[in-house]
Homo-oligomer: A and B are copies of this chain.
């Protein structure tokens, strides 16, 4: 397990359940973003972004060991690094560790999930006061814990997402178009792009829900075929900074113009991280029935906010979301239109005011979302 150091209560509860479920060993690495802050502020330049070798070795060992991975997010201080040199912040990202986990995920070697645990700091960010109880209530809504049978509710919901994905796959759209205030964007899909959602299955056959909550159906687009402009509809918490009012212009797939009212340098830093970071790796559709949306809150936490609204991600694609993609080697993916990058950052572009259409190869448009309502 990986967790922020402030989320001990949730971690301890999960560890106990893991043993009850038959785990032989539960190992937890508590990460502390203040240590990253110290390294950015005071550490030597050449060490930025170089994770401790013992952690790199540990992550690397998962390829062989194939453990179940649980990440407990819920950053109590999402703006912890916002006042630091953005260039050093960008370089301090643990890209070495992320590259290892992205490899495990794209090759479907491990069953994994990400959850978020309420903390005083996160509640402060959401409500302007550290009302943890209120945040737990919101999390209970978003996580369907307020249903009489939460597990049953999740199974039903996963069926809904799978039927949405099936409908999208049946249509076989060539392009997805977003139109709304400040947004006029087309995202070209691959002929083999597969819409997927809810549960995933490892190569060894273990079914798992990789994010909780999850409200999206998603696929990997052709990294060469995004163009237009898009205005983000939610703040975006990344790299210890909150990016607000993000606007991105794409040309021939590449993000070429980046503006924001705060945090723009962190996005620019990520996009400069490697040559493939500025291309899209994911497109995801979420409608207004989302349990996260029902809370009416902005969580400033991507796990939650990306499940309240349609979103796109620059950086790494998801090979399993492309027909035959899971069998391609890393060096074949880019040629097949599937992006490869150590970066993968989702940002929200959907809202009731943003229309989403599926376009056929001849340009015929089919409404997918209108006023947040699912149309297919």
Contacts and interface: CB of A to CB of B under 8 A. Distances in A.
Interface of A: 5-6, 8, 11-12, 15-16, 19-20, 23-28, 30, 32, 34-35, 38-39, 41-44, 47, 50, 52-55, 57-58, 61
Given A8-B32, A28-B32, A54-B58, 15 more contacts: A5-B5, A5-B8, A12-B34, A15-B34, A19-B39, A19-B43, A25-B39, A25-B43, A25-B47, A26-B35, A26-B43, A27-B52, A30-B30, A54-B57, A54-B61
B42 A20 contact: yes
A11 B38 contact: no
10 contacts: A5-B8, A12-B34, A15-B34, A19-B42, A23-B43, A24-B44, A26-B39, A26-B43, A27-B52, A54-B54
B12 A38 contact: yes
A232 B12 CA distance: 34
Nearest to A16: B38
Contacts of A55: 27, 54
Contacts of A38: 12, 15-16, 19, 26
Contacts of A30: 5, 30, 32
B27 A54 contact: yes
Given A5-B5, A25-B47, A42 B54 contact: no
A50 B26 CA distance: 12
Contacts of A28: 32, 35
Nearest to A33: B12
Contacts of A5: 5, 8, 30
A20 B20 CA distance: 45
A61 B8 CA distance: 28
B12 A35 contact: yes
Nearest to A62: B54
Contacts of A47: 24-25
A14 to B, nearest CB: 10
Contact of A11 (B15, B26, B32): B32
Contacts of A35: 12, 15, 26, 28
